[in-house]
Structure 1
Amino acid sequence: MQPRYPTPEHGTRIVVSPSKIALGTGAVTEVGDYADLYGNKALVIATQQIFDIHGQEILETLRDSGIEAVTYTDVRPDPTITNIEEAYELWRTEDCDVIVTLGGGSSIDTGKAVGVLATNPGSIREFGVDRAGYEGVPNPTPPLVAVNTTAGTGSEATRSIVVTDDETSTKFLIVSQNVVPDVAIEDPELTRSLPQSHTAFTGIDALTHAIEAFVSVKSYAVPDDYARAAIERIADSFPKAWANGDDIEARTEMMIGQLQAGQAFTNSSVALVHGMARPLGAQLHIPHGLANALILPYVMEFSAMAAPEKYAEIARLLDAADETTPDRVAAKKASEAVLELCTSVNLSSYLGEFGEVPDRETYLDIVPKMSSDAIDSGSPDNNPRKPTESEIEDVFIRIYDDALAPDSPRRTSETV
């Protein structure tokens, strides 16, 4: 069984979290008040789509607090080095002193990365964990107020940044306590604007964060409790929020659940699912949450033998087993329950619109590179069952045959 408390080989644990979390309907009206604590001129970072919906409200609350604002709205899903460099140039030339992000993980990660460049010399690529290691950002970033409009990424509570290298079609990860936002604004009313597809993507992303944090070899008591609460909360509220986007109670519960999941994985880690999801998303242009959904059940099935107690508890939290079920039997039910949840919200069926799935032969050609990239990310090292590169290749192939191919069982069994 994995350690529930800091052990001698791990030493003291540092539990990271935003300095302040404003949670509840109406929290967005406090953005200006928080920005005013830190500076006078804000760089507001968002996608154009999200800015068109919520941007004026943000600018008004900043203006009411006497904060000037400069906007960068060219963030793309899965933000790129180009996005980050462009936004940083605006920060520098406009002499801003506080960052306000509006959106989900893409906008928040762009804001964090701008902060890295603002206080640390070098290009953003140099801070990736594959080059600089974990905690590879030496200097704290400028103040950042993260206004969250999704219920999935948890980026407003984490020390992680995911960046797409547009030249190589790969993603890399930056991890440092120095990039955790100062303020997280969690207003569930903002998530009403999420389309059903993105409610699905972000919801399963949050569940993946919680499950991976819970089974990680780096898990311990504090993130374990965040993860337990998140798994139970998300399992109940996710289908409700997907089925009825105006269910504000379900939206609120999802926002809390994804926040807990974010706090879980930033204090523990993600593992094999995320290691595989980054290259799959980069190669097939699949949204991160959807990539997680495609991979999660198979990695859970692969990993359960190495941590049956943990996976059995996940099954019980998902109502797929009870205390009378032996752990090894219950552990196998965990992956089945997650697959059933993914099917209930039609996740694979979104591939027709969100993703570029090649024919099988072309896919097989890129499997070795995706597997190598997964290993290089470091995330598989945190998995309870340590995979070989060959085993990762096998899982990628199974995912294609079972979930990616147009005639695969998961895609043909789901309809939007």
Structure 2
Amino acid sequence: MAHPTPANGTRLVVSPGQVVLGTGAIEEVGEYADLYGNRALLVATEQIDEIHGDRVREQLSAAGIETVSYTDVRPDPTVENIEAAYDVWQRDECDVIVTLGGGSSIDAGKGVGILATNDGHIRDFGVDRAGYEGVPNPTPPLIAVNTTAGTGSEATRSVVVSDESTDTKFLIVSKNVVPDVAVEDPELTRSLPQSHTAFTGIDALTHAIEAYVSVKSYGVPQDFARGAIRRIGRWLPVAWANGDDIEARTEMMIGQLQAGQAFTNSSVALVHGMARPLGAQLHLPHGLANAILLPYVMEFSAMAAPEEYAEIARLLEAAEPGDTDREAADRASEAVHQLCADVGLTSYLDDYGEIPSREEYLDVVGKMAQDAIDSGSPDNNPRKPTREELEELFVTVYDNALAPDSPRRA
């Protein structure tokens, strides 16, 4: 059930200034960059730059835009990534930011923009220090060329940054970091391997589900979330099974965009609160950490929001016609477990994580639980966990999904 806007209050609905969607959208990046400046800082990972970078630079050059590239972004960008990219921005006197990639490149570009127009170190703008809407000034023009489906970062006011000095991740949230233009070309996602199709797809589903059930949700983001849940449930297995299916890639790109619009106008909740410390400790990509946690948090939370979780089950076509809301709600987590199994989610842990022994994991469970609480995200969950419940959830996830001999991995 949506939480209505108070009669005497307002809500700010944010979204990218413009969205360019469809096959061939990348051909328009120069045209849009030309609206904003003359010298672009192109921010990407080395791998994505090798695949798509020349094409973007050609489009920028054809529009008369000089391009300087920063291609050392790592998955889950670090404080050092953002500072180094900002040094390039300053040195070469750039005036427009173009990001190429998924959430990592987009977040790095947002971080550069924050430093370009605001005083301070990037860590100063984390919500734990500056609060929400803690970035005073808008970033320079930012064009996000998306290559995943995905984080939805091109639609959001969020930035997730890894602080390697403390093995933690911190969150920045401000309307002043929302990109001016989102370029959504599904052809670019055809280069995604199955692994990234799987965990970025479940990441997008996580965004939609959390936005839908959050205590901060209301009609607008819930409508975005419904569309995203329905699309992702239908098309993720197809895109995973056949990465060249352009219809599936297009539907997934739309679904992840809707999911980004949903959670940035609602909030994330317990999954994200737990995923940041889990990802930081086990060096898991953000999407994979979210995906591992999602069904367990859904199972934990369904009792507190049966109507919402029942609707999720129905959107995923997992409910039976005669189910009560509580019965359908319990099927929602089962449907997500099945979807994760369909796309081989846990099979990617060997290549994309560093799974410790159970004893080593238990040593950091207390810290992860505290980091989750400190993030504030669990407060948005329909069922608010105690510290002990958080610790139990972390242990359940290890025993059922992370351990080499766990049921989900077996």
TM-score by length of 2: 0.99
Superposition deviation, residue 325 in structure 1: 1.1
Give the AA of the match of 2:326.
R
Q: Distance in 1 between matches of 2:14 and 2:79?
A: 26
Q: Tell me the residue number matched to 1:38.
A: 36
Quick one: distance in 2 between partners of 1:211 and 1:26? 30
Per the alignment, residue 116 of structure 2 pairs with: 118
Amino acid at match of 2:6: T
Q: Which amino acid aligns with 1:34?
A: Y
| 2:308 aligns with one of 307, 310, 313 | 310
> Could you tell me how far apart the structure 1 residues matched to 2:397 and 2:381 are?
18
- Tell me the CA shift for residue 287 of structure 1: 1.1
Judged with a 3 Å threshold, the aligned counterparts in structure 2 of structure 1 residues 323 and 177 are, in CA distance, closer, same or farther, namely farther
The answer for unaligned runs of 5 or more in structure 2 is none
Following the alignment from structure 1 to structure 2, what is the Cα–Cα distance between the partners of residues 332 and 119? 47
Write out per-residue CA displacement over residues 11-48 of structure 1, whole angstroms, 9 at most, x where no aligned residue.
20010000100000000000000000000000000000
User: Corresponding residue for 2:264?
Assistant: 266
Report the aligned-residue RMSD. Answer: 0.8
Cα shift at 1:201: 1.0
User: Residue 190 of structure 2: which of 173, 189, 192 is its match?
Assistant: 192
Structure 1 residue 293: Cα displacement: 1.3
Other-structure match for 2:96? 98
> What secondary structure is seen at the aligned counterpart in 1 of 2:378?
helix
Structure-to-structure mapping, 1:178-327, within 5 angstroms: 178-327=176-325
1:335, CA displacement in angstroms?
0.4
2:82 pairs, out of 75, 81, 84, with 84
* Correspondence for 2:5: 6
Partner of 2:25: 27
Letter in 2 for 1:214: Y
The equivalent residue for 1:158 is 156
User: What CA distance in whole angstroms lies between the structure 2 residues aligned with 1:57 and 1:362?
Assistant: 45
Please say if residues 275 and 374 of structure 1, whose CA atoms lie closer than 8 Å, have aligned partners that are also in contact: yes
CA–CA distance in structure 1, aligned partners of residues 358 and 327 of structure 2: 34
Aligned mates of 2:205, 2:314 — CA distance in 1: 15
Tell me, yes or no, if the aligned pair for 2:46 and 2:71 is still in contact at 8 Å: yes
1-structure distance, mates of 2:202, 2:330: 19
The aligned residue for residue 16 of structure 2 is 18
Please tell me the residue identity of whatever aligns with 1:37.
Answer: L
Aligned-residue offset at 1:396: 0.2
Tell me which amino acid in the other structure corresponds to 1:47: T
Identity %: 75
**Structure 2: how far apart are the matches of 1:98 and 1:324?**
55
Paired residue for 1:358? 356
Question: Whole-Å Cα distance in 1 between the matches of residues 7 and 358 of structure 2?
Answer: 48
SS at match of 1:409: coil
Partner SS state of residue 136, structure 1: coil
1-structure distance, mates of 2:390, 2:33: 44
Instruction: Give the secondary structure class of the aligned counterpart of 1:353.
Output: helix
Deviation at 1:7, TM superposition (A): 2.1
Q: 1:66 aligns with which of 64, 67, 70?
A: 64
Query: Displaced runs of 4+ in structure 1, greater than 4 A?
Result: none
For 1:367 and 1:378, locate their aligned partners in 2 and report how far apart those are by CA, in whole Å.
Answer: 17
The secondary structure found in structure 2 opposite 1:84 is helix
Amino acid at match of 2:291: A
Match in the other structure for 2:173: 175
Separation in structure 2 between the aligned mates of residue 389 and residue 164 of structure 1, nearest angstrom: 23
Report if the CA contact (8 A) 1:23-1:187 is conserved: yes
The secondary structure found in structure 1 opposite 2:99 is: strand
Give 1:133's match in structure 2, choosing from 131, 134, 137: 131
Extract unaligned runs of 5+ from structure 1: none
Match of 2:73 in 1: 75
Task: For residue 59 of structure 1, give the secondary structure of its aligned residue in structure 2.
Answer: helix
Is the contact made by 1:305 and 1:328 (CA closer than 8 Å) also made in structure 2?
A: yes
TM-score by length of 1: 0.98
| Per-residue deviation, 1:8 | 5.0
**Partner Cα distance (1:8, 1:86) in 2:** 47
For 1:328, which of 326, 329, 334 is the aligned residue?
326
Q: What amino acid is the match of 2:232?
A: I
Contact kept, 8 Å, 1:372 with 1:389, in 2: the verdict is yes
Verify the 8 A CA contact 1:316 1:323 in the aligned structure 2: no
The Cα offsets for residues 95-129 of structure 1, whole Å up to 9 and x where unpaired, read as: 00000000000000000010000000000000000
What one-letter code is carried by the residue in structure 1 that aligns with 2:174?
A: S
Give the secondary-structure state (helix, strand or coil) at the position aligned to 1:246.
Answer: coil
User: What secondary structure sits across from 1:370 in the alignment?
Assistant: helix
Q: Is the 8 A contact 2:101 2:145 kept in 1?
A: yes
Structure 2 counterpart of 1:394, one-letter code = E
Shift of 1:349: 1.2
Structure 2 SS opposite 1:301:
helix
Equivalent-residue separation in structure 2 for 1:41 and 1:323 (angstroms): 58
